[in-house]
Structure 1
Amino acid sequence: MSQESSPPAREGSLEAPTRHPIAWKDPEFLNETSLFKELERIFDICHGCRRCFSLCNAFPTLFDAIDESSTGELDGVDRKVYWDVVDHCYLCDMCYMSKCPYVPPHPWNVDFPHLMLRAKAYKFENQPVRTRDKILSSTDLVGSLAGIPVVAEVVNAVAKTGVGRKLLDKTLGVHPRAPIPDYHSRTYRKRHAAGSHPTFAAQPAGDTRGRVVLFMTCYGNRNEPGLNEDLVAIFEHNGIEVTLLQQERCCGMPKLELGDLRAIEKLKEDNIPALAAKVDAGWDIVTPIPSCTLMFKQELPLMFPDDAAVARVRDAMFDPFEYLWARYKAGLLRTDFAGRLGKVSYHVACHLRVQNLGLRTRDVLMLVPDTQVDAIERCSGHNGTYAVKREYRDVSMKIGRPVMRKVADAKADHYSSDCPMAGHQIESGLEQGGPPEHPLKLLRMAYGI
């Protein structure tokens, strides 16, 4: 392996990784020669290390190709395999945050997820893009069409039939057994107009200011509006004022997975000014979906490192349980719970883990009397749109099977995930048991509100 003569892994394994900005507007970013030179460099390092073999299917795809090549090294692998590796990466960030010893500030400067993002962006600009992938990543458009009254009921009904699922498989390549969400014509926004929530005297605590803008997310608005309703009920129960933006667009995470960086820029230009104006007026921001939170906390700031408004939004963005835990530490969270939860089997979503918050969801739920929360820190296999695609469904189930097995063996009173889509992925792999219950729903149940 060519890297054997290079410096060893950095000393001091507790040193925090450094994330470099994504130079996506630099002409070299999409230069094919430069890209493949970096792919070869990083793949060769990964080949010599192999610590990430169990995280997802990107690494086994690479390692198997190397092992089966004529040379047993990367130089014996057909470059077509590189694109298979790229397609199996769903940008969960877990290799960077939890496994790789060579991330910066190590001189080898390995950032596998953002190299995969670079390759996805090159592929999006230079190779045909499947209609299926364009549709699945266009959450605003799909949600607005599928959420039309009557249309929503038809879409939901068809999606629950064998014939309908076969049609989705044939036309879009959506696997017949993959979980797909319902669409609601009465979205959260239609149910709760902006500014319709009660007001409270703001009580700052730590980094929180006691008043929040709810970034509803596409999924929370159109697919599971109950997520937002639970969040708002909990926050208002704790004297935290909640408001909505007059309008919001998709955070951009689905487009990131596709490599459509220009579309992300357009979404950012719609969302950031409105959010930054609220921050400047004294509001914090929360979202019910970890991937959306991560997009504002990490990916947009790295894509637009010189944008002061993006930085202000980043600094005011919170996971809901991160926010509630900060209020609890300041003595401002109500603990007069009306009920118990018993045993909870709790899956920690990957995009929450990489935010380095600690297990705040678990910590808050454990405040409920007679409650035991067993955290499962492994990938569910859902990973954005990965698990619904025909060609990746079986692999996604293999990735998620250890989580599904732990949930089944726990025989808990409830099973839950911060990511509602991951929760339904787990549900699809269980032989018996009811649907998942989001941690926000569980906390609201405990409050009895």
Structure 2
Amino acid sequence: MNKPQTPAYDPIDARYWDPQDLRSEVERVFKLCADCRLCNKFCGSFPKLFEAVDSYCTDDKYFEVEIEKFKTEDLKEVVNLCFQCKLCHINCPYTPGDHEWAIDFPRLIARAKAQEVKKNGGSLTDRVMGNPDLVGKLASWTAPIANWANENKVHRLFMQGALGIHKDKKLPPFAWKTFAARFRESWKAPEGEPVAKIAFFSTCFVNYNEPGLGMDTLEVMARNKVDVAFAYEQCCGMPLWHNGDMEAAIVAARKNVASLLPYVNDGRAIVVTNPTCSQMLRVEYPRMLGTDDAKAVAAKTTDPTEFLASLAAQGKLNRDFKTGAGKIAYHIPCHLRTQNIGYKTRDMLALLPDTQVELVEACSGHNGTWAMKKENFEASLKWGERAFQGIRNAEPDVTCSDCPLAAIQIQQGTGKKTLNPMEILARSYRGEPIGGKDR
């Protein structure tokens, strides 16, 4: 009874859009989760799920009372409380390939949200946040005004009312000159035969918000004699995917696969600065599209420190690091943990002189655009508190995270400016101070 006939977790499966099939799968998975309850600590979805199941329980038999009420009211709340950190999945003993129950809770929630959006449409907030390229272009053209507005309390109240972005949420600044423009102006290929070749998928965040991170990544690659091609065409589609607009996310995936495939055929690795974006390319695209081209792009996708670790394994890494960082509290993002590549950033940072790395393995609570919304902001800080406390307890000289959005959340929760590992490595190569107790 509990064993499914291959659950429809991917949109290429025709059953994915069948409401009745979804209801059956929700009933099956929620019953199994309610019997286990291992994941109660990860997000608000599980406490809500268990509370609802318990209220419908009669003589230890679940889902025999008011099942339709659960689906129409409580299911929606369970779905909305999930922020797709995926920690439940990597801790679940019953996942596909590992157990016949084949539970993938995050994908089930994503499927439920996708059906809801297809039926009723998405909110204005989700539509705006789902198009970071449009927002980024407009804000970059007017960066001084946009940045002033994001710091203005009156304007933030307006944004909260009109767009649903919480008035107190720390937002990233916009850069008037995008990373794409800076790359075209300044990048010079290394002299001589390159050690390796990459296509740099810089992400929308680096392109519009933090081009300096992209420039630091370029410097690290240049110091390792890596030839870099600029390969960013558009957002990876994660905001669309996360907010349930699966059909639009599939369109974005197709466009990115088409633009990245020539680089793959040229023998280049695809280096992606944000773990959420690399997860989209490496994990989600093959499942969304099911094509050989998507699988080829996924196979060549890599995180920056993962790529550097591969150079180190071949004896090709430039180890001329000049300055150390003291004690680093390194937050490993959830979406890097789900890719199961190990602790490459920790290992790279440990190569710096006079540097000690303390690992913080807890969710920051940000997760895409979820923490920005007025209904989620306070909960996001609650779910990020374990990470914040881990960083405080470390008493670090430098705080670090691979995820730029987690870095913003950590700064909001701890007051500590949080650096990307590429920033740290670039500063060490240059011989610059990396941080101090005030960071």
1:81 counterpart = 2:74: yes
1:106 — aligned with what?
A: 99
Q: Kindly tell me: are residues 161 and 249 of structure 1, through their superposed partners in 2, closer, same or farther at Cα, counting changes over 3 Å?
A: same
Partners of 1:285 and 1:180 in 2: how far apart? 28
Aligned length: 424
2:401, 2:420 within 8 Å by CA — same for their partners in 1?
yes
Which one of the candidate residues 144, 148, 165 is aligned to 2:156? 165
2:270, 2:301 within 8 Å by CA — same for their partners in 1?
yes
Q: Kindly tell me: are residues 53 and 368 of structure 1, through their superposed partners in 2, closer, same or farther at Cα, counting changes over 3 Å?
A: same
2:16 — aligned with what?
A: 29
Report 1:291-370 matches (<5 A): 291-305=276-290, 307-370=291-354
For the aligned residue pairs, the C-alpha RMSD in angstroms reads 2.1
**1:9-35 deviation digits (Å, cap 9, x = unpaired):** xxxxxxxxxx98854144421111111
In the TM superposition, residue 184 of structure 1 has moved relative to its aligned partner by 1.2
Partners of 2:302 and 2:8 in 1: how far apart? 21
Identical pairs, percent? 33
Partners of 1:36 and 1:142 in 2: how far apart? 36
Which one of the candidate residues 112, 137, 140 is aligned to 2:130? 137
Residue type of the partner of 1:440?
Answer: M
Report 1:361-400 matches (<5 A): 361-400=345-384
TM-score (normalised: structure 2): 0.92
1:10 — aligned with what?
A: none
Report 1:240-251 matches (<5 A): 240-245=226-231, 248-251=233-236
In the TM superposition, residue 363 of structure 1 has moved relative to its aligned partner by 0.2
1:195, 1:243 within 8 Å by CA — same for their partners in 2?
no
1:92 — aligned with what?
A: 85
1:271 counterpart = 2:261: no
Residue type of the partner of 2:233?
Answer: E
1:407 counterpart = 2:400: no
1:185 counterpart = 2:176: yes
In the TM superposition, residue 261 of structure 1 has moved relative to its aligned partner by 1.9
2:207 — aligned with what?
A: 221
Report 1:195-234 matches (<5 A): 196-201=187-192, 210-234=196-220
Q: Is there any run of 5+ residues in structure 1 with no aligned partner, and where?
A: 8-18, 205-209
**1:181-216 deviation digits (Å, cap 9, x = unpaired):** 111120001112189432355566xxxxx1111111
Partners of 1:308 and 1:195 in 2: how far apart? 35
Partners of 2:191 and 2:47 in 1: how far apart? 53
Partners of 1:324 and 1:404 in 2: how far apart? 28
Partners of 2:98 and 2:357 in 1: how far apart? 36
Residue type of the partner of 1:136?
Answer: M
Q: Kindly tell me: are residues 157 and 44 of structure 1, through their superposed partners in 2, closer, same or farther at Cα, counting changes over 3 Å?
A: same
In the TM superposition, residue 61 of structure 1 has moved relative to its aligned partner by 1.4
In the TM superposition, residue 95 of structure 1 has moved relative to its aligned partner by 1.5
TM-score (normalised: structure 1): 0.90
Residue type of the partner of 2:287?
Answer: L
Q: Is there any run of 5+ residues in structure 2 with no aligned partner, and where?
A: 432-439
Partners of 1:232 and 1:364 in 2: how far apart? 17
1:365, 1:443 within 8 Å by CA — same for their partners in 2?
yes
2:57, 2:64 within 8 Å by CA — same for their partners in 1?
no
**1:377-397 deviation digits (Å, cap 9, x = unpaired):** 111000111111111111111
Partners of 1:20 and 1:325 in 2: how far apart? 36
Report 1:119-138 matches (<5 A): 119-138=112-131
2:326, 2:397 within 8 Å by CA — same for their partners in 1?
yes
1:444 counterpart = 2:426: yes
2:247 — aligned with what?
A: 262
**1:25-65 deviation digits (Å, cap 9, x = unpaired):** 44421111111111011000000001111111111111122
Q: Kindly tell me: are residues 321 and 407 of structure 1, through their superposed partners in 2, closer, same or farther at Cα, counting changes over 3 Å?
A: same
In the TM superposition, residue 67 of structure 1 has moved relative to its aligned partner by 2.8
Partners of 2:99 and 2:155 in 1: how far apart? 51
In the TM superposition, residue 176 of structure 1 has moved relative to its aligned partner by 1.4
Secondary structure of the structure 2 residue equivalent to 1:396: helix
1:173, 1:389 within 8 Å by CA — same for their partners in 2?
yes
